[in-house]
Structure 1
Amino acid sequence: MIKDYFDIRRAGSPAPNRRSPRPPDGRAPYGWKPLAVIATAGFIDRFEHQLLPGVLPFIQDEWGLSDTTAGLLPLGGALAAITLTPLAGYLTDRYRRTRILTVIVLCWAVATLASSLATGFGMFFLIRLLLASSEGFYGPLSGSLLADFYPPQSRAKVYGWRGLTPYLAGVGVVVGGVLAQHFGWRAAFVIAAIPGLVVAALCARLTEPPRGLLDRTAGTVPRPLDGAPGTAPDPLDAIAGEDDRPPAPEGGSDAAPTGRREHPRFRRQLRQVLGTPTIALLSAALAALAFGLSGISYWTPSLIHRDHGVAEGLAASVSGAVTVVGVVAGVTAGTWLGRRWNDRRGGGRLLAGGTGIVVGGGFLVAAISMPSVWALAVLLLLSKAAMAMAIPNLTASIADVLAATSRGLGFAVVHVFGAFGVAFGPLVVGVVSDATGSMVSAMYGLAVPLLLGGLLTISARLTFERDRGRAPAL
C-alpha cells in the first residue's frame, strides 16, 4: 500500500489498474473536520454561558439577588475577557493556535465544574470572571484558524456554521432551566463540564495549518511548510526521502507567512488593524449589536416567567427553542442571501447583514408588546432569525479585509468591542427594570442599539472593497 502511494507520487499520475487518490475538494482542502471541531468548541463555550439565564431565577431566589446585581455577572465576565483579548490576538498570530485552543477548552471545563461548588454570590462571581477570561481567546483563535483551513470562496459558509453553533447552544437555557427545576441549579454546571473534556481532546488532534497559503492557492491541497511553528512533516515524506517532496514555496510574495519574524512589531500591527476603516465601522456595529442581543438573551426567560406567568422551566424552554430555531434559519438564509448579493454588488454581504439587523430590531419591538406568550415567541423567533443573517456575512467580511498575519489581532479587536456590548446590555436592562418595575419597558430600549448596529454595518460597504484590496499588502 505504501509502495503504491510512492509509485503514484513519482509518476505524477495514477498507475494503471490502481485506485487513484481522491481529488481534493477546493472548497475544503483540509476537509470539514477542522470546522466541526472548532465549531463544537464554540458550542461548548456558549452552552455553559447559556446555562446562566436558565438557572438565573433559581440563583436569585437562593441568594436574594436584585436584577441589577444579577446584571453584574455578564458585566464582570465581559470585562475580564476584554482584559485578555489583546493578549489572545498577540499569541494567536505568533504561536501554535491549536495548542492554545486545547488549553482554553480545558479551562472552560474546569471553571464550569467549579461554578457548581460556589457557596455565595462573591465566589460565583469570581469563578465567572475566570471562565470569561478564557472565553476571550476563542474569537481570535477560531477566526484565524478557519481562514487558514478554508479558502476565500468557502469562508462565508464556514464562518456561518461557526457562528451558528454557539447559538445552537441556546439549548443550554432549556437544559439549565429544566435541570434546575428538578435537581437544583448546580446539577446543570456539573453536566456541562463533561463534554468540555472530550472536546479538548479533539482539539489536541488538530493539525496547525500554514498561515495565509490559501489566500494565494485556493483550490489546492496546501502543505505545512518546513520549520513552520506548530506544524509537523508528513511521515510518509520522511520514509520516501527528500527527493520525493514537492518543493515548498520560497521567499518573496509567494511564501506563506508562518514564522515569527514575518510579523511587524505589535504596536505597528495594532495601528494597522485599527487604521482599517471597515474594521473600525464593524467593531462599532458589533458593539451595538452585542448590546442588544445580550440584553434580549439574558433576560428573555425572566420576562416570560414574570410577565406571562409561565413556570421557570417552561419559560427557559421557550426562550432556548426560539434562539436555536431562529438562529439556524437566519444563518442559513444569511449565507445564501449574502452570497447572491455579494456577486451583484460591492459589499453585498454587509448589506444583507445590516438589513437583517434593522428588520430584526423591528420584530423585537413588536414581540415585546404582545399580550400572548405564543405571539411573543413567534415574533421573537423572526427577530432572531433576521438578526442572525449578520453572523456569516460580517465575520467573512472581517476576514477579507485583514492580512493573514494579523487576523488573530483583528478578530481580537472586534471581540473587544463586542464584549463591551455584551457587558453592559444585561446590566442596563436590569437597572432600568429595577427603576421602573417593568422588564418590558427595559427591553424596549434595546431597539435603539440594534438600529444603530444595522446602519453602521451597511455604511461599512463604503470602505470594504478598498480595504479588501489593501489587505494582502499589509
Structure 2
Amino acid sequence: MTKTTSRGRRGLGVAPLEGITGREDAPFGWAPLIILFAVGLTDRIETYIASGALPLLQAEWGFSDTMGGMIMTAPLILGAVALIPAGYVSDRFNRTGLIAVVVALWSLVTLGSALAPVFAVFFVTRAVLGAADTIDNPASSSLLADYYPPKTRAKVFGYVRLTTYAGISIGTIIGGVVGQAFGWRWAFACMVVPGLLIALLCWRLREPVRGFLDEVIARDPNKPLPIPEPDSGPSPDRAPGAGHPPKIITQLAYIWQVRTLRHVCVGLALLTLGIQGIYYWLPSLLNRDFALAPGEASTLSSLVTLSATCVGAIFGGWLGDKMHGSVRGGRLLASGVGLFVGGSWLAVALAMDHLVLLMSCVLLSSFFSSIAIPNTFASIADVVAANSRGIGFAVLNFLVVGGGALGPLVVGAISDAYGGSLLTGMYALLPMMIIAGLFVLLGRPHFDREARSVIVASRPDPPSSPPRDTRATPY
C-alpha cells in the first residue's frame, strides 16, 4: 500500500489528515492559489516594466521602434526555447521547489537590468529573464490541477491566469510612474525584494501527489481518501496515470493526439500574438498620438485594461464552471464567443480618434477577451493526464509565448516601415483575435469525450476503452 502522510508534516497547502473528497472546492485550502497567483503576478510585472519605461529607455539610448519591440521579443523567444525542457522537469521533479528557485533567480536578473551600464547589458538581462520566468508556467499549471478539482478549475485558473494581464498593467504603471519620478532604474530595482519574499513562500508550499485528486473523483467523490506521500512512488493501488511519466517522446505523441489541446494551443497562440503586440505598444500610442506623458499614458492604459480584465476573468471563471457539464464543451463555447466579441471591440477602439472613446472600447474588448483566460487553461487541465500535464502546459505555453514574442516586434517593424505609425502595425494584428476564437470553437466537439477519458483512466482498474456516451457530464 502507498504510505500516507504523517501527522507531523508542515507547510502551506496541507490536506486534512482524514483525506480529501471530490466534493470540496479546495481540498488543499486556498493557500496554493494565493501563492501561485503571487508568482504569476510578479512574473508579469517584472517583464512588463519595460513597456511603461520604454519612452524613457528610448530617450536615454536612442534605439528604434524595432529594437523596442525586440526588448520584449528576445526574452519571449528564449523563454519559448526553455519551455519544453521546463515541462519535462516539472513532470519529474518537485514543482514547488522548482518554482521557488526560478522566482529567486529572476528577481536577481531584474536587479541586473536596473544596474545595466549600457543598452547591450540591459538587453541581455531582459533576454535571460525570459528564459527564467517561463520555466514556472508548466509547473504552476500542473500544480493547480492537482490542488483543485474540475468543478472549480475554471475559477482557479481564472485567478492565476488573470495575473498575465494584471501583471502587464501593474508592470506598465510601475515602469512609467516610478521611472518618470525616480528614473527607470528604480522601476526595475523595486521588484527585487518582493520577488525574493514570494520565492520563500513557494519553498514552504507542500507538493501534492500527482493525479491523486483525479483518482479520488474516479473512485468515489463522496468518500475521503488519505493522502499518500509525494515521494512514495508508484504502487499497485494507484492508477496508471498517477505514476511516473513515460519517456518524453511518448508524452509528446500523446499530447498530439489530444485534439482539444491542439485547437486551444493554436487559438491562444494567435490571441497572444495580437494582444501582446497591441497592448505592449498602447502606452507609446497614447504618448505619441494623444500627447500624454509616459507616466500618464502607462497609468491610463494599465488601469483600463486591468479593471476590465479582472472583472472579465472572474466572470469567465464563474460562467465556465456553470457551463461545464451542462452545455457540451461549455468552457470552449464561452471562450470562443468572448474572443470574437473582444476582437470586434478592439477593432472599433483603434478607429477612434477621441481618447475617451478609444479607452472605453479598449475596456469592453479587454472584458470580453478575458472570458477565455480561465476557461481555455482549465480545459487543458481537464483533457491531459496528470503525469503529462507539465509537458502539456509546456507545449501550450511554447506556442503562446511564441505568438507573444512576435507581436511587439511585428508592430514595431511595421511602425518603422510606415513612418512611425503604431496604428498601422496594430491593425495588422487585429484579425488574429478573430481567428483565435474560431480555433478555440473547433476544439469544442472533442472536449467532453477527452475530459471524461482522463477521469476514467484515473481509476485503479480502468476499462479497456472509454465510454461511448459523449453527452456533457459533470465530473
Output the TM-score relative to the length of structure 1: 0.88
Partner-residue secondary structure (3-state), 1:210: coil
User: Structure 2 CA distance, aligned partners of 1:102 and 1:52?
Assistant: 24
What is the aligned partner in structure 2 of residue 333 from structure 1?
315
Letter of the 2:228 partner, please give it: P
Indicate if the aligned counterparts of 2:109 and 2:125 stay in contact, CA closer than 8 A. Answer: yes
1:16 aligns with: none
The match for 1:257 among 242, 250, 255 is 242
Gaps of 5+ in 1: 7-19, 230-248
1:161-211 Cα deviation digits (max 9, x unpaired): 111123222122112101111111011001011100100010000011001
Within 1, Cα distance between the matches of 2:314 and 2:445? 26
Q: For the residues of structure 2 that align with 1:123 and 1:365, how far apart are their CA atoms?
A: 37
Residue of structure 2 in register with 1:11 after alignment: none
From 400, 410, 415, the equivalent of 1:433 is 415
Q: Structure 1: which amino acid aligns with 2:232?
A: A
Other-structure match for 2:155: 157
Contact kept? 2:76, 2:402, Cα under 8 Å: yes
Q: Aligned residue for 1:190?
A: 189
* Match status 1:453 vs 2:451: no
Q: Does 1:83 align with 2:81?
A: yes
The Cα shift of 1:51 comes to 0.8
Counterpart position of 2:473: none
- Structure 1 distance, partners of 2:425, 2:226, is 52
Which letter does structure 2 place at the counterpart of 1:462? P
**8 Å Cα contact 2:72/2:408 also seen in 1:** yes
Instruction: After TM superposition, list the pairs within 5 Å mapping 1:354-373 onto structure 2.
Output: 354-373=336-355
CA 1:226 to 1:290, structure 2 compared with 1: closer, same or farther past 3 Å? closer
Question: What percentage of aligned pairs have identical amino acids?
Answer: 40
Question: How far is 1:342 from its partner?
Answer: 2.7
Aligned partner of residue 315 in structure 2, secondary structure: helix
Q: Give the 5 Å matches for 1:87-106.
A: 87-106=85-104
Going from structure 1 to structure 2, the CA distance change for 1:256 and 1:465 (only over 3 Å counts) comes to closer
Matched, 1:443 2:426: yes
What is the distance in 1 between the residues matched to 2:19 and 2:286? 53
Quick one: distance in 1 between partners of 2:92 and 2:19?
Answer: 33
**How many Å apart are 1:23 and its aligned residue?**
9.7
Secondary structure of the residue aligned to 1:65 is coil
Letter in 1 for 2:194: P
Alpha-carbon distance change, 414 to 22 in structure 1, aligned in 2, over 3 angstroms: closer
Q: Deviations over 1:30-72 (max 9, x none)?
A: 1000110011011110111121110001101111111111111
Cα offset, 1:256, TM superposition: 7.3
1:224 maps to 228
Q: How has the CA–CA distance of structure 1 residues 76 and 222 changed in structure 2, closer, same or farther, with 3 Å as cutoff? A: farther
**Post-superposition CA distance 1:413-444 (Å, at most 9, x none):** 00000011111000000011111121112111
**Which letter does structure 1 place at the counterpart of 2:212?**
L
Q: 2:19, 2:226 within 8 Å by CA — same for their partners in 1?
A: no
CA distance in 2, matches of 1:414, 1:101: 18
Name the SS of the counterpart of 1:118 in structure 2: coil
Tell me whether 332-341 or 149-158 shows the greater mean CA deviation. Answer: 332-341
> Where do 1:58-73 residues align within 5 Å?
58-73=56-71
Query: Aligned match of 1:167 in 159, 165, 168?
Result: 165
SS of equivalent residue, structure 1 residue 296: helix
Would you say 1:176 and 2:175 are equivalent positions? Answer: yes
For 1:458, give the aligned amino acid: L
Aligned residues: 435
Question: Residue deviations 1:319-354, cap 9 Å, x none?
Answer: 110121011111122112222333432111101011
Shift of 1:255: 7.0
CA shift for structure 1 position 254? 4.0
Contact persistence 2:251–2:388 (CA under 8 A): yes
1:423 to 389, 402, 405: 405
What is the identity, as a one-letter code, of the residue corresponding to 2:114?
A: S
- In 2, are the aligned partners of 1:213 and 1:256 still within 8 Å (CA)? no
Match of 1:31 in 2: 29
What is the one-letter code of the residue matched to 2:73? L
Letter in 1 for 2:229: L
Alpha-carbon distance, 1:364 to partner: 0.6
Mapped contact 2:49–2:171 kept (Cα < 8 A)? yes
1:87-113 residue CA offsets vs partner (Å, 9 max, x unmatched)? 111110011111100100001110111
CA shift, 1:393, in A, is 0.3
Q: CA RMSD in A?
A: 2.2
Shift in Å at residue 265 of structure 1? 1.3
2:452 aligned with 1:469: yes
Asked if residue 401 in structure 1 is aligned to residue 344 in structure 2, the reply is: no
For residues 188 and 180 of structure 1, what CA distance do their matches in structure 2 show?
5
Q: 1:23 to 1:209 in 2, by over 3 A?
A: closer
Counterpart Cα distance in 1 of 2:63 and 2:367: 32
Deviation at 1:22, TM superposition (A): 12
Q: Name the aligned partner's letter for residue 291 of structure 2.
A: G
Deviations 1:352-407 (A, max 9, x none): 01111111111111111111112111110111111100000000101111000000
The 5 Å alignment of 1:70-149 reads 70-149=68-147
Amino acid across the alignment from 2:343: G
8 Å contact from structure 1 (residues 350, 393) kept in 2? yes
Relative to structure 1, the CA distance from residue 362 to residue 223 in structure 2 (aligned partners, 3 Å threshold; closer, same or farther) is same
CA spacing shift, 1:62–1:343, aligned 2, 3 Å: same
Q: Do 1:98 and 1:207's aligned partners in 2 also have CA atoms closer than 8 Å?
A: yes
1:252, CA displacement in angstroms? 4.6
